[in-house]
Structure 1
Amino acid sequence: MTEYPNLLAPLDLGHATLRNRVLMGSMHTGLEETKDWNRVAEFYAARARGGVGLMVTGGMAPNAEGGVFPGAAGLFNDQDIENHRVVTDRVHEAGGLIAMQVLHAGRYAYSPDCVSASAVKSPISPFPPKELDEEGIQKQLNDIATAAARARKAGYDGVEIMGSEGYFINQFLVRHTNKRTDYWGGSYENRMRVAIEAVKRARAAAGDDFIIICRLSMIDLVPDGSTFDEVLQLAREVEKAGASIINTGIGWHEARIPTIATSVPRAAFAWVTKKLMGKVGIPIVTSNRINTPQVAEQVLADGCADMVSMARPLLADADFVAKAEAGRADRIAPCIACNQACLDHTFSGKISTCLVNPRACHETELLIEKTLDPKRVAVVGAGPAGLSAAITAAQRGHDVTLFDKADRIGGQLNMARVIPGKEEFHGLVEWFETMLADHDVETRLGRAVGEEDLKPFDDVVIASGVLPRDPGIPGQDNENVVSYLDVLSGQAQVGARVAIVGAGGIGFDVAEYLTQERPSPTENLTEWMREWGVTDTAEARSGLAPEGPHPEPSPRQVTLLQRKAERPGKRLGKTTGWIHRAALKMKGVEMVSGVNYDRIDDQGLHVSTGEARENTRLINADTVVLCTGQVSERSLADAMADHGVNVHVIGGADVAAELDAKRAINQGTRVAAAL
């Protein structure tokens, strides 16, 4: 008897049967643009072998003007079809099914040739779109249909027509972007014609025995978006037009409400699709922040959807479904929804991967193979770098001992896991604990490690982390001055007025920690929706509450300061930095840039500006928190250098830039893979 009877149940679509209710949602990884089709094929085949019911590729452009950027991948000619057949053949050999997403970016296309319903510029692109005339609209629709036909010829089992997230079809649907008064604008009946025609023409071009998924925006979260009645009307019409499945999109890319970041509650938008259940006769897929089989099973058991879409969780672990099926869910590498290696890479023009799983999108290059020469390996430091190194080395068959002076594993991850909105880090540390036990890694915790301890080993991996950097501010030894380590470990008493010195990632984390005294809204969907101003689309168009965001007031007055004369938080994650800035702004945090830290006294922090130290100001503070960066802790590594042992320095001990778990885990995995 499976723990997940709903999740693992087959789904009969009539012309195809899915082996379970898991849809791997579309992710633009950048792999297709590499032209390394073996690499692309292995990425998808790994997920097919891992048991996914149906996969959807990253968005493929139907034409040049619809590509998300110049040169974006698509099926434009016979050679493209042959290239993609390498992928579909590999997936089918692995027992999987795969659909190609047809993505027309519309005004989101990063190109001067972008087109849309109206000439309304996007706030996230520098290029104003050209308003399409009748001939131009017909061309876009015909190109979408042609893409569907080519996808079938390339061996795909279906297509997903992207009609959500604010892309081309979505731009026709709402008055926010559709200002037309002709056949394609004005009334909702007119505005939804592009969506209906896209599905109808794709069905005609690809045939009846072909999966057509229509991705609809269920809640736009932008001004002047759709109501629930409009979404329902559209869903019924795309079913008539020939859709096999309706998939869910949540929010536009330009929406100022987080939808997939780690601070969003798990399954936060499942209630949106539940409203549609029973209203149409084809399967409904729910999406967003579903990252464990337990959550997915509950969503299905509650009648919120017929299927669940998971994208990033299948970057984190290609074997997600197989492990759930085998009763080994605790071995599933958890998606922590950090966006650091997936979406941040995508929007920076890099190949996507995963903070937790550096092999994602690197399956053909980063190989974890059994060693023919087992060694005794010591890993010093049980933070993310050391943990990934120890587990990977043990997977390969080495005899691994993990040392740490702390009495528990996790290192700086234990700082992150106490930040409101970062509760997913609890699961990451627990997964590391499970994997250490699963691979028989000997752990020696709670005591310092010396050179003598390491002499018996063939290889030593030093992952001893970082120490707080000394900022050298006069008065920093005052009793009202504490380190971020003291605050996040709960050892420091923090007053009602706080000055935080340093506005990097740690400074922002500390500010969020100090401005949230109640249980985190991430753990309470009702509170989270109130905080960000989200409501039912039956109550307010687009799901935007008329009263706007209503966060709980901060229990403290917080000032966040930095030396750099740039916007605080500028260097945070590309797709999540705005969320942290907005959250602190809602809490009344003052953010100050371009200051000198002159001195600290009993009154607080004295600052000034410029080389001449002008515009002096006192930041009244009961507590001053130092978040002034880190330096590498590599004393043991330096001492070991002359002992004839192979020493590998990784993580913060190697480079002390912020607390970069992405780099640390990647480095630890790669060092161990090469031992």
Structure 2
Amino acid sequence: MSSYPHLLAPLDLGHVTLPNRVLMGSMHTGLEETGDWARVAEFYAARARGGVALIVTGGMAPNPEGGVFPGAAGLFSAKDIANHRGVTDAVHAAGGRIAMQILHAGRYAYSKDCVSASPIKSPISPFVPRELDEDGIEAQIAAIVTAAARAQEAGYDGVEIMGSEGYFLNQFLARHTNKRTDRWGGDYANRMRLPVEVVRRVREAVGPDFILIYRISLIDLIPDGSTWEEVVQLARAIEAAGATLLNTGIGWHEARVPTIATSVPRAAFAWLTARLRPEVSIPVITSNRINTPDVAEGILADGQADMVSMARPFLADADFVVKAAAGRAAEIAPCIACNQACLDHTFSGKLTSCLVNPRACAETELRYDPTTTPKTVAIVGAGAAGMMCAIVAAQRGHQVELFEASGQVGGLLNLAKVIPGKEEFRGLVDWFAGMLTVAGVKLHLNHRATAQDLAGFDEVVVATGVMPRDPGIAGQDAPNVLGYEAVLTGAPVGKRVAIIGAGGIGFDVAEYLVHSGISPTEDLALWKREWGVGDPADVAGGLAAAGPQPEAPARQVALLQRKAEKLGRRLGKTTGWIHRAALQMKNVEMRGGVSYEAVVPEGLEIGTADGPELLAVDTIVLCAGQVPNPVLADALGAAGIAHHVIGGADVAAELDAKRAIDQGARLAAAF
């Protein structure tokens, strides 16, 4: 019997039966905009082969003004239809089904031609939208209907109409953005007129035997968002208008509450889907922070949803469903919800990938083909770069030995996993450890490899990581001065702390030091209080009336940097604000433009624009950056042994696991 009977159960949609309850949720990858349609087709076909019941594409614009940015992909011509036909053919040949998401960005469109219900600028875009008149609204409806008909012509099995996350249709629904007084504004029957009319006319255009998903916002997380009564009213109207499935949307993009980042508890919003499900008779899909088959199975077994949507987990592992069905769940590469290679790339105009799976969106370019010339490969350092290189090389058929000076694999990932909000790194380290065994890598723990150990291997890889940078502060050898590694491995720290360096490590250490007890990421009620998440049945939009109510900080922390700029400016594009807000809620003092003069018995002497100052602290933590560890590479060079250097041993800028893993995978693919 399967370990996941609910997850793998079929779902009858009337004209078609899906083989399981897994939806691959929509993600904008940027692949369609490359114009390389073979690459697009293989990306989706790989997920179809991996067992997903139904795939939803990234958002396709119904017209130019509705695109999320100028030049956004859509179905505007016969050529576009032919290109998309290549994608749907590939998915169908792989045994899958695929729906195209129709996404009209409204005021979120990064264009001076953006349109919306009312001329209210979004806080995440510089453009004031044009308020649509009756003819303009009709033109937008017609464009969405045309896009659906073209999707059907291109061979899609259905469409998803994006009605959540603060996009166009959502903008008409909420008083926050709809200030109209005509038949498209005012009371809720008028404000919901547009999405209901869109669904009705799309169904009329595509006929009954076509999947129509409507993505409904269950909690907007903005002031003057929808009430729960309105959500239910809309859901029933959307069902009556002809929707096949209701998919869950959570939060607007401008909301100041994290909804999919790694610090959000798993399945944090499934309680809302559970509440909606008995209100309608069509299947309801839940989403957000579901990344393992066990979590998904639990949701379905508890009756909280009819299907589970997972998006980024299918970047991390295209074979998620196949592995779960085969009893190999431990081999599923875990999505850690870091956003580093997916959303951060999207919002920076880069092609999407995945920190734990560099092949995501690069399936035709980065290949792990079996080798025809097996080699002996020695890799030194079992951090992110070394482990990935070892696994890929061994999977390709090389004989790999991995040397690690400590008694455990994981390197600095083991520091990340102790940070509150980064608990997902535990699963990542466990996955790496397991895959080293599955791949057949010979592991040497507690073995500091020397040049002599490495002589005779066909390929030698140095992945020995980094060393802390010496900040050169007078008095830094005092006993109350600690490095970040000592702190994160349990060294005693006083109640008043100064952290020197405000990069990613500094922010992590600050997060670690201000928390005590259970992490909010592992306690949904605590997390909701911390971020001020309420109930849309009580307050429109679902923001708690009392606002965020974080636990008191465990310590008084000052986070310092030399650069005279906003702290955290160089953190992740889509997560930096979360880290800043979390520390601000814990009263962390964040100061830039300081110089470090001396450690003294009373604390830390600093220089500021206003002159010298003494910070009275008990402990000073050094997070002043790092430099590559050159020891082994230098010894190999001196011994004349050819070698490759990857990861932090190559470039130590921050602790960049994304770059390290990608570098390790690409090197192993080239052996």
TM-score band, normalised by the shorter chain?
Answer: over 0.9
Cα offsets for 1:451-493 (capped at 9, x unmatched): 1100021100100000000000111111111100110011x21
Aligned to 2:480: 480
Partners of 1:514 and 1:303 in 2: how far apart? 39
Partners of 2:612 and 2:552 in 1: how far apart? 29
1:426: how far off?
0.5
Partners of 2:100 and 2:506 in 1: how far apart? 42
Aligned to 2:519: 520
Q: Is residue 509 from structure 1 mapped to residue 508 from structure 2 by the alignment?
A: yes
Partners of 1:21 and 1:628 in 2: how far apart? 48
Please tell me the residue identity of whatever aligns with 1:637.
Answer: A
Cα offsets for 1:489-539 (capped at 9, x unmatched): 11x211010000000000000000000011101011111111111112112
Aligned to 1:665: 661
Cα offsets for 1:75-102 (capped at 9, x unmatched): 0010000000000000000000000000
Please tell me the residue identity of whatever aligns with 1:185.
Answer: G
Aligned to 2:617: 621
1:19: how far off?
0.8
1:609: how far off?
2.9
Partners of 1:296 and 1:4 in 2: how far apart? 9
Please tell me the residue identity of whatever aligns with 2:590.
Answer: M
Partners of 2:448 and 2:643 in 1: how far apart? 18
1:645: how far off?
3.7
Aligned to 1:563: 562
State the SS of the aligned residue for 1:277.
Answer: helix
Cα offsets for 1:102-148 (capped at 9, x unmatched): 00000000000000000010000011111111100000001000000
1:644: how far off?
4.8
Number of residue equivalences: 671
Partners of 1:646 and 1:305 in 2: how far apart? 56
Cα offsets for 1:395-439 (capped at 9, x unmatched): 010000000101000000000000001000000010011101101
Matches within 5 A, 1:216-615: 216-490=216-490, 492-609=491-608, 614-615=610-611
Cα offsets for 1:175-213 (capped at 9, x unmatched): 000000000000000000111011111111111110000
State the SS of the aligned residue for 1:641.
Answer: helix
Aligned to 1:169: 169
Larger deviation, residues 595-604 vs 138-147? 595-604
1:555: how far off?
1.4
Report percent identity of matched pairs: 69
Q: Is residue 653 from structure 1 mapped to residue 649 from structure 2 by the alignment?
A: yes
Partners of 1:643 and 1:478 in 2: how far apart? 38
Please tell me the residue identity of whatever aligns with 1:275.
Answer: R
State the SS of the aligned residue for 2:80.
Answer: helix
Cα offsets for 1:24-60 (capped at 9, x unmatched): 0000000000010000000000000000000000000
Partners of 2:640 and 2:342 in 1: how far apart? 39
1:643: how far off?
4.2
State the SS of the aligned residue for 1:667.
Answer: helix
Q: Pick from 623, 637, 640: which aligns with 1:641? A: 637
**Conservation of the 8 A alpha-carbon contact between 1:562 and 1:592:** yes
Please tell me the residue identity of whatever aligns with 1:495.
Answer: G
TM value normalised by structure 2? 0.99
State the SS of the aligned residue for 1:261.
Answer: coil
The 4+ residue runs of structure 1 with deviation greater than 6 A are: none
State the SS of the aligned residue for 1:59.
Answer: coil
Partners of 1:568 and 1:620 in 2: how far apart? 21
Partners of 1:427 and 1:64 in 2: how far apart? 42
**Conservation of the 8 A alpha-carbon contact between 1:459 and 1:645:** no
State the SS of the aligned residue for 1:542.
Answer: coil
**Conservation of the 8 A alpha-carbon contact between 1:118 and 1:130:** yes
Please tell me the residue identity of whatever aligns with 1:15.
Answer: H
State the SS of the aligned residue for 2:246.
Answer: strand
Structure 2 unaligned regions, length at least 5: none
Please tell me the residue identity of whatever aligns with 2:214.
Answer: C
Cα offsets for 1:372-409 (capped at 9, x unmatched): 11111000000000000000000010000000101000
Please tell me the residue identity of whatever aligns with 1:73.
Answer: A
Structure 1 unaligned regions, length at least 5: none
State the SS of the aligned residue for 2:68.
Answer: coil
Please tell me the residue identity of whatever aligns with 1:599.
Answer: A
Please tell me the residue identity of whatever aligns with 1:276.
Answer: L
State the SS of the aligned residue for 1:276.
Answer: helix
Partners of 1:215 and 1:533 in 2: how far apart? 24
Partners of 2:645 and 2:73 in 1: how far apart? 39
Partners of 1:637 and 1:389 in 2: how far apart? 17
Please tell me the residue identity of whatever aligns with 2:167.
Answer: Y
1:638: how far off?
2.0
Q: Give RMSD over aligned pairs.
A: 0.7
Partners of 2:614 and 2:159 in 1: how far apart? 61
State the SS of the aligned residue for 2:434.
Answer: helix
State the SS of the aligned residue for 1:275.
Answer: helix
1:642: how far off?
4.8
State the SS of the aligned residue for 2:621.
Answer: strand
**Conservation of the 8 A alpha-carbon contact between 1:458 and 1:646:** no
Partners of 1:197 and 1:603 in 2: how far apart? 69
Partners of 1:344 and 1:605 in 2: how far apart? 36
Please tell me the residue identity of whatever aligns with 2:522.
Answer: E
Partners of 2:404 and 2:65 in 1: how far apart? 55
1:257: how far off?
0.3
Please tell me the residue identity of whatever aligns with 1:299.
Answer: I
Partners of 2:637 and 2:274 in 1: how far apart? 61
State the SS of the aligned residue for 1:58.
Answer: coil
Matches within 5 A, 1:181-200: 181-200=181-200
Q: Is residue 132 from structure 1 mapped to residue 132 from structure 2 by the alignment?
A: yes
Larger deviation, residues 633-642 vs 280-289? 633-642
Please tell me the residue identity of whatever aligns with 1:581.
Answer: R
Partners of 2:152 and 2:506 in 1: how far apart? 51
